[in-house]
Structure 1
Amino acid sequence: MKKLFSFATIASLLVLLAGCGSSGNQAAPAPAPAPSASTEPAKQQSLLDKIKAEGKIKIGTEGTYAPFTFHDQSGKLTGFDVEVVTEIAKRLGVEPEFLETQWDAMFAGLDAERFDVIANEVSIRPDRQEKYDFSDPYIVSSAVLVVHKENNTVKDFKDIKGLKAAQTLTSNLTDIARKNGAEIVGVEGFNQAIDLLASKRVDVTINDGLSVLDLLKQKPNTPIKIVAKDPNGSKNGFMFRKGNPELVEAFNKALDDMKKDGTYLKISEKWFGADVSK
């Protein structure tokens, strides 16, 4: 038994020594390779680059606000804003895709990235500029006070206190109505406001002067009239989500080029008979 134990002990020692010798011959692990430049985060694609890559720009608009954005007798979407933004899209080398939405849902649609830009006579206001970016102004308009043709008591904005005013709830025109004490009756857009006024279901509406003049030119028998004009003109621009300066700059350049080469004036005179950029 002692001999067997000695042989087993010697065998174990030989195995142990062999293992130690082999471990000494192993190469040290290679150092981890340094990160290459290709592993660094790629620069995020701008919205302008994305639009150009896709070949189209998504445009939010009402489609019910003549003469800026509406459907003609054939059902085609047209209007001043539609023509201006279509020309801008052409100069960017992309196709315009119009997505029609009620005014009060339009800003939410831009927030949700349903649109790349809004083209709908959006007034440039400080409260909006806190959240959104705007192009340079492309049209200046004034608010007007409109009543039924038979109404001879309302002659100025101060006369609308306590009266029902048909207004879209988030419009700057509605702010004027509230400021003068009117009771706001919410509507989806310009056409509904005029329909309520013409049928005497409201007393007044404060709306865009260019829109009202266009309506009376197209439908002179509409029983409404303008009784007062707000002295402060409203500057309107195309509206974008914050953080897309390349797209805003591209719009501004296209607008500037259109004014220089006479394209803007041609569109303006077609719809209003004058330059409405000032």
Structure 2
Amino acid sequence: MKRSLITAAALTVIAVSLSGCAAGGAGTDAISATGTPTDDSLAAVHESGTLTVGTEGTYRPFTYHEGGSGKLTGYDVEVIEAVADKLGVEVEFEETQWDAIFQGLKAGRFDVVANQVSITPERVDEYEFSTPYTFSTGVVVVKKGDSSITSFEDLSGKSTAQSLSSNWYALAKESGAKIQAVEGWAQSVALVEQGRVDATVNDSLTFLDYKKQTGASGLKVAATTEEQSENAFAFAKGDTALARAVDTALAELTTSGELAKISNKYFGVDVSK
């Protein structure tokens, strides 16, 4: 739903797209003496002492509640909390449904979205982005003893379990697989483990989370896409001062090893690079 595979070229587009136009978020519509909008997004966050973060709260392992109703936690939650600490401000989370999260950002309800937002050319036209803090690929997951599938081409004529509304369904179909419709990852991986389908195609982060939680001793990754998805924090268009300050914080967290530590906690590997 949230991730879509793109090439690294998108980062070039981001660099070109940076501008000084303010549009909602932490910034205001203040006008400089020359009549152009000013970017006070970072100053506004410092003045308030709070970084307001839009997130779902229902997207494990990125943003969710412990036990379903406990404390908000997750990979994205911990990363943005560490970023806010570097900025010297508190964090206030505003939970909202995915379908409304970007409208909330544009309306200024929050300063940043922390919800595994994939960087795409279309989104770059509408929002500012931080440097990526998560990288992932598409993977083919099969039973550990299966040697008949080692590439996406090998899915031709094989059965895969896929949610019909996901990008992975389209990728499996393009690869020539016979699709068995399921509601989500839990059903698809169960069918693979039971030997009722040959494989399932999904995001590497989903598999890593499942492996971290269960061990996934009977499964393996048989193939990986060449393209990768790059996920970052999203800001209102024009809030470049805040976005670049977050970049600095992420760089410091990378250098100190804190970002890798958070990643290993949730995925067992460093997905931040």
If the TM-score is normalised by the length of the shorter chain, which range does it land in? 0.5 to 0.7
Q: Compared with structure 1, are the counterparts of its residues 66 and 123 closer, same or farther at alpha carbon in structure 2 (3 Å cutoff)?
A: same
Q: Distance in 1 between matches of 2:131 and 2:243?
A: 9
Q: Deviations over 1:122-171 (max 9, x none)?
A: 2222222111111112121112245899x9998865648998742666x7
Shift of 1:247: 0.3
Higher relative contact order (CA 8 A, sep 6+): 2
User: CA contact under 8 A between 1:168 and 1:186: conserved in structure 2?
Assistant: no
Contact 1:57 1:96 in 2 (8 A): yes
Please report the TM-score for the alignment, with normalisation by the length of structure 2: 0.66
Residue 42 (structure 2) aligns with? 48
Query: Match for residue 64 of structure 1?
Result: 58
Is 1:76 the counterpart of 2:67 in the alignment?
A: no
Task: Find the counterpart in structure 1 of residue 245 from structure 2.
Answer: 250
Alignment of 1:33-44 (within 5 A): none
Tell me what 1:118 maps to.
Answer: 113
Q: Residue 185 of structure 2 aligns to which amino acid in structure 1?
A: I
Q: Does 1:210 align with 2:222?
A: no
Q: How far is the alpha carbon of 1:40 from its aligned partner?
A: 10
**1:144 touches 1:209 (CA, 8 Å); kept in 2?**
yes
CA contact (8 A) 1:68 1:80 kept: yes
Show the counterpart of 1:140. 135
Q: Which amino acid aligns with 1:128?
A: R
Task: Say which SS state the counterpart of residue 230 (structure 1) adopts.
Answer: strand
Among 165, 177, 188, the residue aligned to 1:197? 188
Match of 2:163 in 1: 166
**1:105 matched to 2:86:** no
User: Which residue is 2:272 aligned to?
Assistant: 277
Q: Distance in 1 between matches of 2:79 and 2:242?
A: 16
Of Structure 1 and Structure 2, the greater helix share is in: 1
Q: Please say if 1:229 is aligned against 2:224.
A: yes
Q: How many residues align?
A: 233
Deviation at 1:53, TM superposition (A): 2.0
- Partners in 1 of 2:236 and 2:252 — Cα distance? 23
Say whether the 8 Å CA contact 1:143–1:207 is kept in structure 2.
Answer: yes
How far does residue 93 in structure 1 lie from its aligned partner after superposition? 1.9
Pair 1:274–1:178, CA change in 2 (3 A): same
Greater shift in the superposed pair: 139-148 or 109-118 = 139-148
In the alignment, what sits opposite 1:17? none
Distance of 2:142 and 2:104 partners within structure 1: 32
CA separation in 2, counterparts of 1:57 and 1:81? 14
Are the structure 2 counterparts of residues 57 and 186 from structure 1 closer, same or farther at C-alpha, using a change threshold of 3 Å?
farther
1:248 to partner: Cα distance: 0.7
Q: Which residue of 1 aligns with 2:14?
A: none
Contact 2:208 2:268 in 1 (8 A): no
